[in-house]
Amino acid sequence: MAKFHVYKDEKGTYRWRLQLDSNKFVADSSLGYKTKYDCMRAIKTIQKSIIKAEICKATNKIVI
């Protein structure tokens, strides 16, 4: 089963990493969270959203 790992980075903020059954890390948080609670809320949001996620064709256009 895939696992989210929560850890404190060198700046003292909380981040997450997603690890697959193969022990490879395939995703991580792009920003740090001030509290562990905020980091856990972000993980819960991802877990809820991923069920509805679509696979889209990549384009050369970058949307920010």
pLDDT at residue 56, as a whole number: 85
| Contact predicate 27/19, CB 8 Å | no
pLDDT at 62 over 80: no
Identify the CATH assignment for 3-50 out of 2.60.40.10, 3.30.110.30, 3.30.160.160, 3.40.50.720: 3.30.160.160
CB neighbours of 47 closer than 8 A, spacing ≥ 6? none
pLDDT at 61 over 90: no
For the chain, the structural domain boundaries read 3-50
Q: Is the pTM of the predicted complex or chain greater than 0.75? A: yes
Place of tokens 């990549």: 58
pLDDT at 60 over 90: no
